[in-house]
Amino acid sequence: MGEDSAIFWSFDVPSYPEEYPDDESVDEIDVHAEPWLKTYLAVTIIACITGLPLNFAILFIIMKKKLYRDVIWFLQGVFSITLIVRIIMIPIEYHASRHPRGFAYETVASCKAFHFFVEFSGASSNMMLLALLSVRLISFTPRRQYIAKHPIICGVFVSMVVMFIAFFSTVPIVSYLDLTIFDDERTMRICHVHFDKYDPYLRWNKFNVSFCMFMPFIIGVICVIIMAINQTKFYREYCKTSVSYLRQLDSVDNKENGSTKASDFEDDRPMVDEIYSGESEQEERRITILHIAYMVIYMVILLPYVISVTMAVHYANAYTSVLHWALKYTHIVSLTVGIINPLAAFFIIPKLRELKS
């Protein structure tokens, strides 16, 4: 254990140029001295400029069109919020990579807080994606009637469970971190796991990686496969039984807004029901395609980084220069998930591109 823990660090320790002027301390890492930081900076800027507006736009459309009355869209909104938090942490992570003596490593508390929000933002978004896909699959079962009647209650409950799991899976890991200050003419701060706590840290980290990273991917793939294989049967049953509920929602809107919709004409009820069923089936198919896209994005964008981190943490003897390089660049690629997910939603779901309610 001693040899493994001696070469293990809980984060990617920045490498420094071998020579510094004698009168300078390590306050900031030069981007030109660390070429990978150029890519990191570019992705950080792009994520903040594009990722934040895209996710806020999805939230705005969900609220404007009252899509939150469907529990799937309610959870989609919460998923966008977790991606926003994840994007907010990107420039903070970048600052910590450039400034080894910055606020993230000023005290033990700031060290733990920084790592907590980094870990929590990732765990919450991964678990929310799992919740979104799981509830989506449940909505094709007889329990869909309760979900349809109480979408906000179900959405709030599921969101609270997800946040609870993400919080309590992250806190134990962060509690094992410690701040070490090396003061040999230049002060360098490193936030890492204390050697005496290495074994319990590994146990909790194994649980966190399995439960909050690999499990969402595995169960999510199973959910989308089941929906894809049984989509025709699911959509026909689900959409037909959803027509009456959609008509009830329209009736409420008509009374509130004083408007008239096709569902008000009782003489044309069969035709209206057929229209609703056809439109609903087409929309449900698009949502399934979106969820499949989410899983492909997870596999291509996030999974390589998850595997690299798992190798670095649990197989310290295998830590080589190749793995060190993989950790850096897979981490940079994983930062783009907050951009690609909303882009996929806008591209696949037409109603998100329509500003009219």
Report CA-CA distances (Å) from 9 to 161, 173, 190, 205, 222.
31, 13, 9, 13, 34
Integer Cα distance of 189 and 187 in angstroms: 7
* Closest C-alpha among 123, 54, 24 to residue 339: 54
- Please give the structure tokens belonging to residue 172: 């134990």
Report CA-CA distances (Å) from 280 to 189, 276, 349.
56, 6, 13
Integer Cα distance of 186 and 304 in angstroms: 35
- Please give the structure tokens belonging to residue 167: 């919080």
Quote the pTM value.
Answer: 0.77
Tell me the pLDDT of the chain (357 aa) as tens digits.
Answer: 444 443 443 444 444 444 444 444 445 555 445 677 788 888 889 989 999 999 999 999 999 988 888 888 999 999 999 999 999 988 888 877 776 666 677 777 888 888 889 889 989 999 999 999 998 888 777 777 777 778 888 999 999 999 999 998 888 888 888 777 665 545 566 777 777 777 788 888 888 888 888 888 888 889 888 888 876 667 666 555 444 444 444 444 555 555 544 444 444 444 434 444 445 677 778 888 899 899 999 989 988 888 888 877 777 666 677 777 888 888 888 889 999 999 999 999 888 877 554
> What is the full DSSP assignment across 283-335?
HHHHHHHHHHHHHHHIIIIIHHHHHHHHHHHH-GGG--HHHHHHHHHHHHHHT
- Please give the structure tokens belonging to residue 16: 């420094």
